[in-house]
Amino acid sequence: KGEVLVGPDVAKRLVGQCQAAGTSGKQLGESVCERARRLYLGLDGTDPAEADAALLRLLSLVDALAQLPADLARVAATQASAAGQEEFSSLRSCAAQRAAAEPMLRRLKIGQAAADIDLLGGDQAAPAAAAEVDLIGADAPATAGGSPSGASAA
C-alpha cells in the first residue's frame, strides 16, 4: 500500500512539493482533514483497525508539520488540527493507537479534556448562583390572606 513512515523529513518533502505546485498551507490542511474525515466515517470501505492506523499516520504528519519553521507547514497543521478535531480525537478511544496519539494530540491542542471545557460559557461563580434559584417558589413567604399574587392589604 506504499505506507510512509512519517517524520520531519517526510514533512519537509511534502512542504517542498506543495511550494513547487503552488499549494497553500490552508489547501494542504484541508486535504489532510478531508482524508481524515473519510477514514473516520469509513467512506473508503477499509477495516476499522486499518483506518485507525491511517488516522494515526495522518496525525503524525500534522504533528511533524507543526514542528517545521515554514509558514506553509504551520498553517497546514493549524488548519488540519482545527478542522479535524473530532476525527483525530477519536484515536483516544482506540486502545491500539491511544498511547502513540495522546502526546501528539496534546502538542496540537486537539480535543481538550471534558473537564477543561465550559459547555455553558459561564464563569466559575455560575454554579453557586444557579443553586440559589428557586424555580417552584417553595421559599416564598406565605401571605396572610392566601392571595396567590403575594399582594398585601395595607
Instruction: Give per-residue pLDDT as tens, 2-59.
Output: 567 888 999 999 999 999 999 999 999 999 999 999 999 999 888 888 999 999 999 9
> Do the Cβ atoms of 72 and 66 come closer than 8 Å?
no
Residue-wise pLDDT for 69-95, tens only, equals 999 999 999 999 999 999 999 999 999
pTM of the model: 0.70
